[in-house]
């Protein structure tokens, strides 16, 4: 914004005296190179306007290609290691983005578990699954009618209001688009049906009739009676995987998680859910949330924002200019410049294939005030000087040559401020910065070429004649007087008491720095919505009922997949064999030991990839030992086993054995000896079992089985090893202690639940109360990680075969070598995620896992933290670099280091104070705030440029700073004020936005404008008084 001092005539008294009289040297010396651009507009006005129009149309033609992107993930480039890792984790564990539909009922005595609500949820689930595309492209679902029959129904999800419909058409948003086109031209639902998480579709393992185990869906059938509903409640609440995630622990809410192919469908899916639940009356509240919905909704609202705020900002500025300048003809030119800059910039962005992101959606709002001010200055000076020249072209040449340098520099500084954003590592911010920089350049070019052409064509000589009679700003006196008097007073005070001023400012800076120290870096995309926004309300509500809807993943893999070699395993096995066999089979144990000793050296030097290699040969040797010792017992046991139970007596059994010739007599004798102790009363299956129990004592001691058992333990993948699973369990118990974490889930939870239900034994119906309690204790003890890897493996195998296939593999890889812990946070605040990350890091440091692990975080909640960190450091770099460049430019402009420094001071104070304010107000330093830091620099330096430039001229003209002071506070100060007010008010429409980042930008920029306006007018007079000698050496000497 150039606030080159333009509006000389704004002050009526002394107006003529204040004018810098045009000198011949100006015209001759500067004119040629400073006016070659305006010359084009002057000589070929029609052509200029036509060319501009054609180019503008070309850029505007890119608009229909617009795409939007509100995915915070894209705050990082696709190649960022964390995104690559995140994508790997998503693929590895088949993780999807979810639309979360929460249904809350806190009025029913049974909460959400009432017959009506559960039936509704079941129907909703099946309606979602039935989604298909009709011939007409509209979504169709199968719904149950009032008469109980099912029929297909076509839905139209487009917004009802005409305005929204037009907007949706313009921005190419089709709410009915819920399908992806397959290669064969058919369509599939954007909902990933087999991953839908709902009570009707998740597994449950439970005890059933006759001591059997039932594996079915949690809500296999919707309840018909209250008892049915309560069974579902009990099943859900007793499953650690569902309580706190699928169902709220307060029993008042259930969430359905709808996985979608890509995030872009989430808004449409949320519309679908709203349509399907529109007829739900009573106490069921439907809340839709989840990061993808938030992002997508944000995108849709961004459209409204762009379609409303930008024109509104234009209108406000238009009205302000009209109020200040009172001439419609004059105001059209700046508005044209603004419009064309915005169209070309957005056209470029869209044409280059960039998505419109939250940042780039604000381009128009930034460009309008910036581009307007350039041309306003030209025009107002044009009207001032026209009476002297009485020739449009000559007047323009004069005005241009005078304004060229300040305009160039102020445009350049603004441009640098925005372009410096390109140094940040955040792609959308880069795109934003570079495009606004482009827009600033376009605005400058248009001001140089189009405005002269406009004047030549559109401003009639007649109107200019009238203008001569009429001062540019006629009834401005009262208003200007008030402002002038106020500014004069503070300015004079500052200039006359420079030391006091500097002291006050220093104190202010100190307070600001203290405030900056208090700044809390934090962002939360959900908080981009205002508190009353349905998304935000749903988010608050669901996070109140549930463990939290913000998920981060903590994944584990071994640093070294299989650390133990054959030698180590051999040693472990020898120890175990000693314990198991030495007492009963000392000779065989010795033989087995030497077999191990004999085989191991073969593998000593082989770091074999085939883990089973250590065991293959050993199994053969073990088999031979078994054959020599236990074979007879096995034959004996087999003989008994194959007998028919019916009619079996001791006599029959013994007879059968005596007929089996392969049984060694001594063994038979040993068996008969012990069998004699069995009661003669016993018969049938019981007798058979008793006989087999005797054999088991010997058959159980099989070396072959022992080797397999050892293999199962020693070769077990990481996450089938009990000690590793217990470590994970302990870690989970630690994490959940954190206040910000509501819930964690892992394969261990599934395992323990499975082991418990598998091993559950119900007390017999005639058991006493004591027996029951005792039984419960035994069952409760099974709520633990099983003690061997084989037991773990067998429970997992059962879970793998449940109705909901592969559910387990969201938490552990199929080879059980890696695991993925789901951590649910109660808020999306980055600061909360950071706490958890640090906490986990510390825990693992202090409690090293049994096997060295690679631990990595992923998930959107975590990614937000990563880009936030990058942004904070990136913005600092960008700020520092633009500060340096602007400083160098200032030194070049004034050819004085002192003036360079002086011009940087007001904006530095502005930035310090505005960020200090953020610290003191307790507002989080989030993405919009961070982005603003760098660009305010480029924008607020303009005031100082203007003030100092004029101060130099005035001091040269009037001989001393004190003499120049009064005029400084009447002419340039007022111009600065007008500019500050125009821009600040221009940003005001943003405050009406339903999206907080826009509000933040609007209020923050307005605050910065006002601050830097005051800072310029306060600090510069004081400093110029203090450094008068050095600042104006020639005049000072006089």
Partner 1 sequence: MKKIFLSTIALSLLLISPIMGNEEKELTGDELMSKSNQAFYYAGKDGSSDVEMTIRDAQGGTRTRSMTILRRNEGENQKYYVYFRSPADVRRMAYLVWKNVKGDDDRWLFLPALNLERRIAPGDKRTSFVGSDFFYEDVSGRNLTDDTHELVETTDEYYVVSNKPKVPNSVEFAEYKVWLDKTTFIPMRSEYYDKNGKLYRTVESKKVEEIDGYYTVMEAVASDLITGSSTVNSFSNVRYNLDLNANIFSQRFLRRPPREVTSRK
Asked if 210 is part of the footprint of partner 1 (rule: CB under 8 A), the reply reads: yes
Binding test (CB under 8 A) with partner 1, winner from 37, 60, 115, 215: 215
**Which residue's CB is nearer to partner 1, number 748 or number 755?**
755
747-766 residues near partner 1, rule: CB under 8 A:
755, 758-759
Structure tokens, 668: 């038979």
CA distance 33 to 25: 13
Asked if 17 is part of the footprint of partner 1 (rule: CB under 8 A), the reply reads: no
**Which residue's CB is nearer to partner 1, number 442 or number 618?**
618
Alpha helix ranges (H) inside 813-926: 830-846, 860-894, 897-921
106-135 residues near partner 1, rule: CB under 8 A:
130, 132
User: Cβ distance 913 to 1018 under 8 Å?
Assistant: no
Asked if 783 is part of the footprint of partner 1 (rule: CB under 8 A), the reply reads: no
**Which residue's CB is nearer to partner 1, number 262 or number 388?**
262
Binding test (CB under 8 A) with partner 1, winner from 365, 450, 747, 791: 791
Minimum distance of partner 1 from residue 784's CB (angstroms): 12
Segment near partner 1 (CB under 8 A); pick from 188-196, 861-869, 922-930, 962-970: 188-196
Asked if 685 is part of the footprint of partner 1 (rule: CB under 8 A), the reply reads: yes
Asked if 214 is part of the footprint of partner 1 (rule: CB under 8 A), the reply reads: yes
**Which residue's CB is nearer to partner 1, number 160 or number 609?**
609
Asked if 806 is part of the footprint of partner 1 (rule: CB under 8 A), the reply reads: yes
What is the H or E stretch that residue 167 is in?
helix 162-170
Question: Three-state DSSP class for 558?
Answer: strand
136-165 residues near partner 1, rule: CB under 8 A:
142, 150
**Which residue's CB is nearer to partner 1, number 250 or number 579?**
579
Asked if 194 is part of the footprint of partner 1 (rule: CB under 8 A), the reply reads: yes
**Which residue's CB is nearer to partner 1, number 813 or number 830?**
813
CA distance 969 to 966: 5
User: Cβ distance 967 to 4 under 8 Å?
Assistant: no
Asked if 1003 is part of the footprint of partner 1 (rule: CB under 8 A), the reply reads: no
User: Cβ distance 28 to 437 under 8 Å?
Assistant: no
CB-based contacts of 627: which residues, under 8 Å, 6+ apart? Answer: none
Segment near partner 1 (CB under 8 A); pick from 9-17, 52-60, 565-573, 803-811: 803-811
79-98 residues near partner 1, rule: CB under 8 A:
91-92, 94
CB-based contacts of 126: which residues, under 8 Å, 6+ apart? Answer: 142, 200
Query: CA 980 → CA 1, 684, 976, distances in Å?
Result: 10, 102, 6
CA distance 152 to 144: 9
Residue 72 DSSP code: G
CA distance 405 to 620: 94
**Which residue's CB is nearer to partner 1, number 177 or number 839?**
177
Binding test (CB under 8 A) with partner 1, winner from 148, 605, 610, 642: 642
CA distance 364 to 436: 9
CA distance 542 to 162: 32
Minimum distance of partner 1 from residue 714's CB (angstroms): 9
Structure tokens, 435: 């495009």
Binding test (CB under 8 A) with partner 1, winner from 74, 119, 123, 188: 188
User: Cβ distance 110 to 251 under 8 Å?
Assistant: yes
Asked if 854 is part of the footprint of partner 1 (rule: CB under 8 A), the reply reads: no
CA distance 904 to 1016: 10
704-743 residues near partner 1, rule: CB under 8 A:
705, 708-709, 711-712, 715-716, 720
Minimum distance of partner 1 from residue 815's CB (angstroms): 6
Asked if 792 is part of the footprint of partner 1 (rule: CB under 8 A), the reply reads: yes
User: Cβ distance 336 to 453 under 8 Å?
Assistant: no
Asked if 805 is part of the footprint of partner 1 (rule: CB under 8 A), the reply reads: yes
Q: How far apart are the first and last CA of the chain?
A: 35
Residue with tokens 């990563």: 866
User: Cβ distance 967 to 958 under 8 Å?
Assistant: yes
**Which residue's CB is nearer to partner 1, number 474 or number 780?**
780
Segment near partner 1 (CB under 8 A); pick from 5-13, 106-114, 208-216, 566-574: 208-216
Segment near partner 1 (CB under 8 A); pick from 258-266, 520-528, 594-602, 791-799: 791-799
**Which residue's CB is nearer to partner 1, number 790 or number 991?**
790
**Which residue's CB is nearer to partner 1, number 214 or number 963?**
214
Asked if 803 is part of the footprint of partner 1 (rule: CB under 8 A), the reply reads: yes
Binding test (CB under 8 A) with partner 1, winner from 148, 353, 647, 801: 801
CB-based contacts of 639: which residues, under 8 Å, 6+ apart? Answer: 656, 657, 660, 663
User: Cβ distance 236 to 104 under 8 Å?
Assistant: no
Closest CA to 756 of 791, 713, 800: 791
Binding test (CB under 8 A) with partner 1, winner from 169, 461, 658, 815: 815
User: Cβ distance 299 to 528 under 8 Å?
Assistant: no
Q: By CB under 8 A, how many residues form the interface with partner 1? A: 68
CA distance 190 to 268: 10
Minimum distance of partner 1 from residue 720's CB (angstroms): 6
Minimum distance of partner 1 from residue 753's CB (angstroms): 14
Query: CA 279 → CA 119, 285, 537, 559, distances in Å?
Result: 14, 11, 21, 54
Minimum distance of partner 1 from residue 713's CB (angstroms): 8
**Residues in the chain, how many?**
1038
Segment near partner 1 (CB under 8 A); pick from 559-567, 647-655, 745-753, 807-815: 807-815
Binding test (CB under 8 A) with partner 1, winner from 41, 369, 786, 856: 786
User: Cβ distance 63 to 342 under 8 Å?
Assistant: no
Closest CA to 289 of 547, 106, 541: 541
Asked if 631 is part of the footprint of partner 1 (rule: CB under 8 A), the reply reads: yes
User: Cβ distance 357 to 429 under 8 Å?
Assistant: no
Binding test (CB under 8 A) with partner 1, winner from 790, 837, 988, 1036: 790
**Which residue's CB is nearer to partner 1, number 144 or number 497?**
144
Asked if 634 is part of the footprint of partner 1 (rule: CB under 8 A), the reply reads: yes
The residues pairing with 853 across neighbouring beta strands, listed in sequence order, are 558
Give me the DSSP letters along 134-155: -TTS-EEEEEE-TTS-EEEEE-
Tell me how far apart the 2 most distant CA atoms of the chain are, in Å.
Answer: 138
Binding test (CB under 8 A) with partner 1, winner from 794, 881, 960, 1003: 794
Torsion angle defined by CA atoms of residues 878, 303, 103 and 196, in that order, rounded to the nearest 10 degrees: -80
Asked if 795 is part of the footprint of partner 1 (rule: CB under 8 A), the reply reads: yes
Minimum distance of partner 1 from residue 642's CB (angstroms): 6
What is the H or E stretch that residue 733 is in?
helix 722-735
**Which residue's CB is nearer to partner 1, number 521 or number 667?**
667
**Which residue's CB is nearer to partner 1, number 705 or number 953?**
705
**Which residue's CB is nearer to partner 1, number 216 or number 562?**
216
Minimum distance of partner 1 from residue 771's CB (angstroms): 21
Residue with tokens 């006050």: 504
Closest CA to 424 of 82, 85, 75: 75
Minimum distance of partner 1 from residue 517's CB (angstroms): 49
Backbone φ, ψ for residue 31 (5° rounding): -50, -45
Asked if 814 is part of the footprint of partner 1 (rule: CB under 8 A), the reply reads: yes
Contacts with partner 1, residue ranges (CB under 8 A) = 91-92, 94, 130, 132, 142, 150, 186, 188, 193-194, 208-216, 626-627, 631, 634-635, 637-638, 641-645, 685, 688-689, 692, 705, 708-709, 711-712, 715-716, 720, 755, 758-759, 786, 788-795, 797-798, 800-803, 805-806, 809, 813-815
């Amino acid at each position: 914004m150039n606030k080159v001092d333009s509006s000389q005539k704004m002050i009526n008294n002394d107006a003529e005296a204040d004018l810098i009289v045009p000198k011949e040297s100006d015209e001759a010396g500067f004119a040629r190179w400073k006016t070659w651009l305006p010359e084009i507009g002057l000589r070929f006005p029609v052509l200029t306007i036509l060319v501009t129009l054609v180019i503008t149309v070309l850029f505007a033609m890119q608009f229909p290609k617009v795409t939007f992107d509100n995915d915070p993930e894209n705050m990082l480039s696709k190649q960022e290691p964390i995104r690559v890792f995140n994508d790997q984790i998503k693929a590895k564990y088949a993780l999807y983005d979810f639309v979360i539909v929460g249904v809350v009922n806190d009025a029913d005595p049974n909460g959400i578990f009432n017959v009506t609500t559960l039936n509704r949820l079941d129907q909703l689930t099946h309606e979602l699954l039935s989604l298909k595309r009709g011939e007409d492209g509209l979504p169709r679902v199968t719904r149950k009618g009032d008469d109980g029959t099912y029929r297909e129904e076509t839905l139209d999800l487009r917004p009802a209001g005409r305005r929204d419909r037009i907007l949706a058409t313009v921005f190419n948003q089709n709410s009915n688009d819920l399908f992806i086109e397959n290669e064969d031209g058919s369509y599939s639902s954007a909902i990933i049906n087999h991953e839908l998480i709902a009570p009707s579709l998740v597994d449950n393992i439970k005890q059933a009739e006759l001591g059997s185990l039932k594996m079915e869906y949690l809500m296999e059938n919707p309840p018909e009676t209250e008892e049915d509903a309560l069974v579902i409640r009990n099943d859900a609440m007793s499953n650690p995987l569902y309580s706190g995630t699928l169902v709220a622990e307060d029993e008042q809410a259930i969430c359905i998680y709808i996985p979608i192919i890509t995030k872009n469908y989430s808004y449409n899916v949320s519309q679908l859910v709203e349509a399907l639940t529109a007829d739900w009356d009573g106490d069921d509240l439907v809340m839709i949330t989840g990061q993808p919905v938030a992002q997508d909704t944000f995108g849709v609202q961004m459209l409204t924002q762009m379609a409303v705020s930008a024109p509104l900002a234009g209108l406000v500025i238009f009205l302000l200019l009209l109020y200040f300048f009172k001439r419609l003809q004059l105001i059209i030119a700046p508005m044209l410049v603004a419009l064309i800059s915005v169209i070309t910039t957005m056209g470029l962005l869209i044409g280059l294939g960039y998505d419109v992101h939250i940042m780039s959606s604000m381009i128009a709002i930034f460009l309008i005030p910036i581009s307007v001010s350039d041309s306003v200055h030209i025009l107002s000076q044009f009207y001032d000087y026209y009476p002297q020249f009485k020739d449009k072209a000559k007047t323009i040449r004069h005005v241009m040559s005078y304004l060229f340098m300040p305009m160039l520099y102020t445009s350049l500084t603004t441009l640098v401020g925005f372009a410096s954003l390109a140094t940040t590592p955040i792609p959308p911010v880069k795109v934003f910065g570079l495009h606004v920089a482009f827009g600033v350049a376009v605005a400058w070019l248009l001001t140089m070429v189009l405005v002269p052409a406009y004047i030549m064509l559109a401003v009639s000589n007649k109107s200019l004649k009238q203008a001569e009679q009429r001062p540019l700003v006629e009834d401005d006196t009262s208003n200007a007087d008030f402002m002038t008097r106020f500014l004069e007073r503070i300015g004079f005070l500052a200039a006359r008491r420079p030391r006091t001023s500097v002291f006050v400012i220093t104190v202010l800076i100190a307070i600001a720095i203290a405030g900056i120290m208090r700044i809390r870096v934090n962002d939360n995309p959900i908080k981009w919505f205002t508190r009353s926004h349905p998304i935000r309300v749903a988010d608050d509500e669901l996070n109140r009922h549930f463990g939290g809807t913000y998920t981060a993943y903590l994944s584990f893999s071994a640093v070294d997949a299989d650390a133990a070699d054959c030698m180590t395993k051999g040693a472990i096995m020898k120890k175990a064999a000693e314990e198991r066999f030495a007492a009963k089979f000392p000779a065989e144990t010795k033989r087995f030991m030497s077999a191990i000793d004999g085989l191991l050296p073969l593998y000593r030097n082989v770091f074999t990839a085939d883990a089973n290699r250590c065991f293959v040969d050993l199994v053969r040797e073990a088999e031979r030992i078994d054959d020599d010792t236990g074979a007879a017992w096995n034959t004996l046991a087999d003989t008994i086993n194959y007998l028919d139970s019916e009619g079996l007596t001791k006599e029959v059994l013994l007879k059968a054995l005596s007929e089996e010739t392969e049984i060694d007599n001594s063994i038979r004798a040993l068996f008969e000896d012990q069998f004699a102790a069995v009661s003669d009363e016993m018969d049938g299956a019981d007798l058979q079992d008793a006989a087999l129990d005797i054999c088991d004592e010997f058959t159980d001691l099989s070396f072959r089985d022992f080797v397999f058992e050892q293999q199962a333990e020693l070769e077990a993948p990481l996450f089938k090893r009990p000690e590793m699973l217990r470590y994970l369990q302990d870690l989970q118990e630690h994490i959940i202690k954190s206040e910000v974490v509501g819930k964690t889930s892992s394969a261990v939870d599934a395992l323990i639940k499975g082991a418990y239900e598998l091993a559950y034994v119900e007390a017999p119906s005639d058991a006493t109360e004591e027996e029951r309690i005792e039984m419960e204790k035994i069952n409760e003890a099974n709520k633990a990680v099983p003690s061997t890897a084989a037991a773990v493996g067998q429970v997992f195998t059962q879970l793998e075969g449940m109705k909901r296939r592969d559910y387990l593999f969201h938490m552990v890889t199929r080879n059980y070598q890696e695991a993925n812990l789901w951590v649910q946070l109660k808020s999306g605040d980055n600061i909360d995620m950071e706490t958890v990350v640090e906490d986990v890091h510390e825990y693992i440091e202090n409690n090293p896992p049994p096997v060295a692990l690679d631990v990595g975080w992923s998930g959107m909640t975590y990614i937000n933290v990563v880009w936030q960190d990058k942004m904070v450091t990136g913005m600092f770099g960008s700020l520092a670099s633009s500060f340096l460049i602007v400083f160098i430019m200032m030194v070049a402009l004034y050819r004085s280091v002192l003036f360079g420094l002086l011009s940087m001071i007001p904006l530095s104070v502005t930035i310090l104070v505005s960020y200090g304010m953020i610290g003191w107000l307790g507002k989080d330093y989030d993405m919009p705030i961070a982005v603003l830091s760098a660009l305010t620099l480029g924008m607020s330096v303009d005031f100082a440029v203007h003030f100092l430039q004029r101060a130099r001229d005035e001091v040269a003209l009037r001989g001393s700073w004190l003499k120049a002071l009064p005029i400084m506070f009447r002419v340039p100060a007022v111009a600065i004020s007008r500019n500050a007010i125009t821009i600040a008010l221009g940003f005001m429409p943003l405050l009406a936005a339903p999206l907080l980042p826009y509000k933040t930008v609007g209020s923050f920029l307005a605050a910065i404008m006002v601050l830097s306006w005051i800072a310029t007018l306060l600090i510069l007079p004081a400093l110029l008084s203090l450094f008068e000698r050095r600042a104006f050496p020639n005049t000072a000497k006089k």
